Every structure is written in C-alpha cells, then in structure tokens.
Amino acid sequence: MLFPWTCQTEIGLPRLCRGESVANPQTMSPNVKSDFVPQPGSELASESDSACDDTRLSPRLSSRLSTRFARIRNDTENLCARLDPEDCVAQSMPDASPAKWHLAHTAWFFETFVLNKYLSNYTAFHPAYGYLFNSYYNGAGERHQRSARGHLTRPTLAEVHDYRRHVDDQLQALIGDDRLGKRPEIERVVEIGLQHEQQHQELILTDIKHLFAQNVILPAYRSALPSCAESAAPLGWVDVPEGVHSIGHAGEAFSYDNERPRHRVFLEGCQIADRLISNSEYREFIAAGGYRRPELWLDAGWTTIQREGWQKPLYWRGGPDGYTEFTLAGERELFDAEPVSHVSFIEADAFARWAGARLPTEAEWEVACGARAVEGNFADSQRFHPTAANARDDEASRQFYGDLWEWTSSSYSAYPGYRPDAGTLGEYNGKFMCDQWVLRGGSCASTREHLRPSYRNFFHAPDRWQFTGIRLAKESP
C-alpha cells in the first residue's frame, strides 16, 4: 500500500519516496535556489519588482530578522516548557490540537513554504512529516485527519524538538545568506511564518486550557492568580460618528492578506461600550432566564443551546449559588468584575439582545479604536486570564486590545478588492470566508506585537474555547 506521503508531486514540494534517507542536519548547508520566479501579478512578484536587484538585504536587516526568528521560535518552546510530555500528546476535541502537534506543525510551515521552496536539493527532515503536520493546505498534499491528531504518539516529543532544531538551523542559515538580498519575498514568507507561529502560541494556550478542563484533577498551567477585589467601572459609551471612514490595513508594515485593501465604509453612527461585559452582568442575564427565553436567540443559537444543554459560559462551574471558573491557573472563584469569557457568538448575540443593545460591526469596532494604542492585558504578562476593567482613564482600561477577543456582528468575508497571497499560502485566510464571524482586539493569550487595529480573527458561531468576550454597541441617541 502506498502511504499518502510516499510520492508528493505537488509543485514546490520535494519528490520523496518511502525509504529515502532523512537529511542529516549536520551535513546540510543552505543552497539558495536560483530559479525562483514570482508569479506574474502576485504580491510576492510586486514586492520583488519594487525592491529588486539593487536592494540587497543589509546585514543589519538580516541580523534583525534572525534575532526575531530565534526569539519567536523560542517563545513557543517556552510556552510548552511548563508542560509534561503527557500533556503535549492528548487532544481534547477535534478543534483543539495537542501541543506536540503545534510544535511540529509550525516547523512544517517553515519547511514547506521556505526551505522546500528556496533551498535547492532540500530534503525533508522526515518523509512522513509533510503528511502528519499539514493542517489544511490542499495545495501541499494529503494530510492526517485533524480529529485524530491526538493519536500520534510518534514522533515523540523529543523527535519533534529535533525537527524544530533542524528547521531552525536551516532557516537561520538561509536568512544569513547574503544572496537573500535579491529575494525580499523570502523575508515576506518568513514573516508570515513568524506571525503564524504566534497564532499557534495562542492556540497552544487555549487548547491546553480545554484539555486540562476535561480532567477532574483540574491541572494548573500557571501559578495561582490574585483575587480580584475591585469593582468593574460603570459601563460607558463611546461615540462612533456618522460618515465615511476607512478601515483595513495600509502601509508597509506586515498584515495578512485578509486585512487588505484599506477601503471606505459608510457608518450611520453608533455608540460602542467602553469596556467588556463583566461576569456579574452575564450572571444577571442567566438569572433573568437568558438561556430559557427563545425570543433572545437566533434560531441557530437556540438549537445549539438545546442540543448542548448550555446554561452558562464554557468554563463556569456550579450554579447561581456559587459559580467557580476554570482558568489556566486552575479552578478559581468567579469574580464579578472580571469580563465574562469563553462565550460563543450566539451567546454574545443573545446577551446583547437581552441588554437592549447589539454587537458592533467590525467596521464600527475598528473606527472606534483604530487610533488607540495597542495596549492591554496580553500574553506578554503571562497572566493568561482577563482582568477587570477599572476606573482608570487609560487605554488599557477600555479593553479594546487584549483581555478577550470581541465578537462582532460581521460575517467573515473579503474586503472589496481582496487578493489572497500567491500560491498555496493563499489558502491561509481566504478559503475560510464562509459561515464564520469576525473577532477583534486580541486576548490575554495573544502576543501584543501580533496585534494591530486591522487584525481580523474569525471563528464559527458556536465556538467558545478561545478567549472570547462581549462588547456592546447601540444606535446613537
């Protein structure tokens, strides 16, 4: 029987047959391909055209990319260093992946989209890894079933770390090669890989939280969090003026293809809440029969909560006489002032209807906070839990960034003039523009430098294992 990885024939992938020897990391040297030709009309081609032959990558830029690459790759390993090997193998549900798989997949990304493409005669580290660690790229060949990632006891965690070291060594050598100066597209793809790595850092945290929550031992990923004695600041409103506004990414700094192009939108004008909804406010919704009143729910939402038996957010335990909450610091008292987290789009929508408000559109959200500093409670603090909005009059207290991803009422779709990245990387974002909802702002599991005003996250309406919360909007008075 031929295994799916035995003969990969897709353009840009190495032809590998079972039995071929695995590359020895010690003996390989980077050998930059000289025959790469960007596709006409592609973004890579246009970047190349504009930056081309007389713009070599300076040693300073090469050094900066090398340092950044090492730091971000190391961040991933540091996140997993708190885990035992057994923690890294299990998979709690089809949407979540084992930490070991995340470690391997992020290496696969660089191997597939950089090393395979830009190093001539590159031989894959292992002939099966392309099959095991491809996530969803049809253009990269067949892949292991997503829901069965937890079945992969092999390769071992140590072997996955060997894989990462191999890829890191090859990437660093490639970045340091002065011929890279003629290939600004390599820098672009490496940057996509680093942004991708940071997305998976967040997924490692959310997936570990979901995994640990299944265990009656209730393991803790981090040390105990301090209690939250403060009260949430009174809910206020920020005006979003009527008129034509511009949203989306502009400029030379990195963005994903789904954030472009910047374009105009007309807003009727509205008000948007100046903080996230708190646990106590969500508890009022439950006490008012929120999960028992069909008039509050979209049909898909009502069907889901009936089928799943939902009566509270994902990680709340107990009942109205004494809720607790599972966190990455273990089980903990539910504090009134902290924002309600791990709610789905359909729960956020029902809450907003009960509150006499609605969710903001993504355009309203971006206009409301697009000029604000990207400040807040991010993974950088290693708290990994949202904080209460307090009465301080600073940007972090508004919670636009960090703490929790905020559901919007906007379905995830292409901006006018959208063009996906060229080639197989074009599958990164564009093909998911169906039946998902946009979230904005990042969370306490996101890295701060990964966020920007135009950043668009997206999940399905019932999803709630991510760090998700609620910000309200309403029409202008």
Rounded least distance, CB 200 to Fe ion, Å:
6
Beta bridge partners of 243: 267
**What is the rounded CA–CA span in Å between residue 406 and residue 341?**
10
CA atoms of 81 and 103, how far apart (whole Å): 12
Q: Which one of 135-143, 369-377, 395-403, 451-459 is the stretch in contact with Fe ion (CB under 5 A)? A: 135-143
Give the Cα separation of 141 and 125 in Å (integer): 17
- Least gap, CB of 251 to Fe ion (angstroms): 25
Q: Which is nearer to Fe ion, 135 or 387 (CB)?
A: 135
Judged by CB under 5 A, the residue of 42, 62, 135, 429 near Fe ion is 135
- Which distant-in-sequence residues (6+ apart) come within 8 Å of 25 by Cβ? 125, 165, 166, 169, 170
Token pair belonging to 251? 């400029």
Structure tokens at 363: 């355009």
Among 111-119, 133-141, 440-448, 464-472, the segment contacting Fe ion (CB under 5 A): 133-141
Of the pair 192, 444, the CB lying nearest Fe ion is at: 192
Alpha-carbon span 170 to 114, nearest angstrom: 10
DSSP, collapsed to helix, strand or coil, labels residue 328 as coil
CB of 196 to Fe ion, least distance (A): 5
CB of 423 to Fe ion, least distance (A): 16
Q: Is 474 exposed, middle or buried (0-12, 13-18, 19+ CB in 10 A)?
A: middle
C-beta closer to Fe ion: residue 135 or 170: 135
Minimum CB separation of residue 279 from Fe ion in Å reads 32
Quick one: 137 or 437, whose CB is closer to Fe ion? 137
Handedness of CA 311, 313, 316, 321 (dihedral sign): negative
**Complex with Fe ion: residue 111 or 347, whichever CB lies closer:** 111
Cis-peptide into 155, omega within 30 deg? yes
Of the candidate spans 127-135, 211-219, 324-332, 337-345, the one that interacts with Fe ion by CB under 5 A turns out to be 127-135
Q: Which stretch binds Fe ion (CB under 5 A): 7-15, 57-65, 132-140, 388-396?
A: 132-140
**Of 198 and 443, which has the nearer Cβ to Fe ion?**
198
Is the Cβ of residue 135 or residue 278 nearer to Fe ion in the bound state? 135
Could you tell me which residues are beta bridge partners of residue 317?
324
How many residues in the shown chain lie near Fe ion by CB under 5 A? 1
- Here's the x/- map for Fe ion, 232-271, by CB under 5 A: it reads as ----------------------------------------
324 three-class SS: strand
Residues that bind Fe ion (CB under 5 A): 135
